[in-house]
Amino acid sequence: MIACVLLNRLRSAAAVSCKLTRTDRVRRVASFQRSARFYSAFMASTAPIFRQLFEAESSTYTYLLADTDTREAVLIDPVLETVDRDLKLITELGLTLKVALNTHCHADHITGTGLLKKKVFGLKSAISKHSGAAADIQLSDGDRITFGKHNLTVLETPGHTDGCVTYVTEDHRMAFTGDTLLIRGCGRTDFQQGCPKRLYQSIHKKIFTLPGSCFIYPAHDYKGQTVSTVDEEKKFNPRLTKSQDEFVNIMNSLDLPKPKKIDISVPANLVCGLHDV
């Protein structure tokens, strides 16, 4: 709510700035800065530590969240090639990594979960029980992953694969949607038990029912976009603003090449939740 108020104030200020005197503009900027400082302080006192990390080859986002008091952390969708980078950041921030979570069994890269388990004593892996992949924690709809005073709730959102899940913070401010919902797009449905009808229903019934201001953090982006919101995707996603039948026709007509690493990634990702790759 506070973020929306600030954004609206900024838009209003921009709209009328050309009509204001220099003194008026200075006063408006100062007012906005005071609000921004309040917002930052509010976030700092209540929100988890949060970092969005990027792996360039597969255009994968990895997400680090941690409690500011206990320093307990979770890592979502780690990538094998960037494990050392992630661990360096975790060490620099003085965090203790408790759980490595995957949103699904990935086809375009090998997860870093196995290597992380080798390097971090006591680390647990987690993935949907419907994914067919091995992990210490087999997740079901409604399960919670706790780190300090925070938690992530598991929403089963199949359609891209049978085992896709979305992780939602306890305050419903952030949703980590994996390949289910991308920014102005969605995951493909032509392999790994994909089903366009299930994907459409998962998004509309599980993700689009979250608060409109909830931030959407996907597992991938190929255009340099980093974040969206539920309201944005409901209004502007070119596939998901269509009817279910139209969506199914779109997805069945994509004719995409299969991921380059699928024959390596999927077998590896089925087992590395318990073992090093």
Give the closest residue to 82 by CA, choosing from 70, 90, 72, 73: 90
The owner of tokens 């419907």 is 130
Query: What confidence score (pLDDT) does residue 275 get?
Result: 60
* CA–CA gap between residue 128 and residue 222 (Å, rounded): 25
- Gyration radius of the chain's alpha carbons: 20
- Looking at every residue in the chain, the average pLDDT score rounds to 87
Q: For 175-210, write each residue's pLDDT tens digit.
A: 999 999 999 999 999 999 999 999 999 999 999 999
Between helix 22-46 and helix 2-16 the angle, nearest 10°, is 170
Query: What's the pLDDT band for 276 if we cut at 50, 70, 90?
Result: low
* CA–CA gap between residue 240 and residue 234 (Å, rounded): 7
Give the number of other Cβ atoms within 10 Å of residue 257's Cβ.
5
Q: What is the DSSP string of 208-257?
A: TTS-TTPEEEESB-SSS---EEHHHHHHH-TTTTS-HHHHHHHHHT--PP
